[in-house]
Amino acid sequence: MTIKYAKIINEETKVCQVGLGTDIEFYQSLGMTEMDVEQGYDGNWYVAGYVPAEPEKSYIEKRLAEYPALGEQLDMIYWDKVNGTNLWQSKISEIKAKYPKG
């Protein structure tokens, strides 16, 4: 939690406009007051305690975050062909097993 000059811009969600500089008089002229605020996963500022929870990622998003970069995958496939191994298939299968289809 952080004390900043802020002004609530949505009473329902408690989203705030926050002053990030040091010009207190300017922020007060905008109707901002000192508030305990937190920044949410979405980049918005909220009154402390009102930050929404980050939504659960889908299995696709989780897989994409763990898959090696495409160039690295192509390199793995190439070397699997050269060496008679299946490292690429093993890596992809491991990720798919870790995050099965919902």
pLDDT per residue as tens digits for the range 34-79: 999 999 999 999 999 999 999 999 999 999 999 999 999 999 999 9
pLDDT at res. 93: 97
Please provide the average confidence, as pLDDT, over all residues in the chain: 95
Indicate the SS3 state at residue 77.
Answer: helix
Domain extent listing, the chain: 2-47, 59-98
Range of lowest pLDDT (18-27, 47-56, 86-95): 18-27
CA–CA gap between residue 16 and residue 98 (Å, rounded): 38
